Amino acid sequence: MTAPIVRVTRCSKWYGPVLGISDISWTLTGGVIGLLGPNGAGKSTLMKLAAGLIRPSRGTVEVFGQAPADSPEARRRIGYSPEHESSYDDLTGREFVRFLAHLAGVPKQDADGAAVTALDAMGMRGAMDRKIGGYSKGMRQRTKLAATIAHDPDLLILDEPLTGVDPIARAEIIDRIRKIAATGKCVIVSSHVLYEIEALTQTILVIYRGQVLADGDLFAIRRLIDHRPHRIRIVCDQPRVLAARLGAAAHVTKVEVEGTTIAAETNNPDACYDVIGEAVTDAGVKVEELTSPDNNLGAVFEYLTSDGNRHRARITE
Amino acid sequence: MTTTMLDSRTAIDAIGRMSLTRLARSKALWISAALAALPVLAALLISGSTKAPATNWNMVHLTLRLTILIIPPLIVGSSLADDIGEKSAAYLWSRALPRWVIVAAKVIYLVPVIFALAAVSATLAWVIARDAAGVDVVDLGRTLVGIAATSLAASALTVMAIVLAPRFGVVIALCWLLTLDVALGGRAMGARVIATSFSIAALAEGRDVAVALVSAAVITIGCLAVALKRIDRIE
Strand ranges (E), chain A: 6-15, 18-28, 32-36, 58-63, 78-81, 155-158, 186-191, 203-208, 211-217, 230-236, 252-258, 261-266, 287-291
Q: What is the pLDDT along chain B (235 residues), one digit of tens a residue?
A: 677 888 999 999 999 999 999 999 999 999 999 999 999 999 998 887 777 776 777 788 888 888 888 999 999 999 999 999 877 888 999 998 999 999 999 999 999 999 999 999 999 999 998 888 778 888 888 888 888 888 998 999 999 999 999 889 999 988 888 877 766 655 544 444 455 666 666 766 666 777 778 888 888 999 999 999 999 888 8
Predicted local confidence at residue A87, as pLDDT: 66
Q: Which parts of chain A sit beneath pLDDT 70? A: 1-2, 85-87, 219, 222-228, 293-317
Residues in B touching A84 (Cβ below 8 Å): 86-88, 90
B24: closest chain A residue by CA: A90
Predicted local confidence at residue A305, as pLDDT: 63
Cβ-nearest to A100 among B3, B22, B95: B95
Predicted local confidence at residue B183, as pLDDT: 65
Distance from CA of B74 to the nearest CA of A (A): 17
Q: Do A82 and B90 touch (CB under 8 A)?
A: yes
pTM assigned to the model: 0.81
CA atoms within 13 A on the CB side of A317: 11
Q: Does B97 touch chain A (CB under 8 A)?
A: yes
Q: Name every residue whose Cβ is closer than 8 Å to that of residue B234 and which is 6 or more positions away in sequence.
A: B84, B89, B99, B163, B166
ipTM of the prediction: 0.88
**Which of B1, B10, B22 should one mutate to test binding to chain A, selecting the residue with the greatest count of A CBs within 10 A?**
B1
Question: Could you read off the pLDDT of A102-136 as tens digits, one per residue?
Answer: 999 999 999 999 999 999 988 899 999 999 999 98
**Residues B86, B166: contact at Cβ < 8 Å?**
yes
Q: Do A72 and B86 touch (CB under 8 A)?
A: no
> Quick check: is B3 in a domain?
no
Angle of CA points A149, B235, B178, to nearest 5°: 115
Indicate the number of domains in chain B. 1
> Quick check: is B59 in a domain?
yes
Q: Does B85 touch chain A (CB under 8 A)?
A: yes
Q: Name every residue whose Cβ is closer than 8 Å to that of residue A173 and which is 6 or more positions away in sequence.
A: A122, A138, A141, A142, A145, A161, A162, A165
> Quick check: is B131 in a domain?
yes
Q: Does A38 touch chain B (CB under 8 A)?
A: no
Query: Residue A210: what residue type?
Result: G
- A257: which strand partners? A262
Quote the DSSP letter at residue A209. Answer: T
- The C-alpha atoms of residue B7 and residue B15 are separated, in whole angstroms, by 12
> Quick check: is B77 in a domain?
yes
Strand ranges (E), B69-185: none
Cβ-nearest to B88 among A88, A103, A110: A88
- The C-alpha atoms of residue B120 and residue B125 are separated, in whole angstroms, by 8
Predicted local confidence at residue A147, as pLDDT: 94
> Quick check: is B1 in a domain?
no
Q: Do A95 and B21 touch (CB under 8 A)?
A: yes
Q: Is A42 left (phi over 0), alpha (psi -120 to 50) or beta?
A: left
Question: Could you read off the pLDDT of A147-184 as tens digits, one per residue?
Answer: 999 999 999 999 988 877 778 878 888 888 888 888 88
Quote the DSSP letter at residue A249. Answer: S
Q: Does B178 touch chain A (CB under 8 A)?
A: no
The C-alpha R_g of chain B, in whole angstroms, comes to 19
Distance from CA of B166 to the nearest CA of A (A): 14
Predicted local confidence at residue A301, as pLDDT: 61
- The C-alpha atoms of residue A39 and residue A54 are separated, in whole angstroms, by 19
Residue A162's nearest CA partner among A122, A193, A124 is A193
Residue B116's nearest CA partner among B75, B58, B81, B156 is B75
Q: Do A82 and B91 touch (CB under 8 A)?
A: yes
Domains of chain A: 6-222 (3.40.50.300), 229-291 (3.30.70.100)
Cβ-nearest to B5 among A72, A88, A90: A72
List the domain range (segments joined by +) for residue B40.
8-233
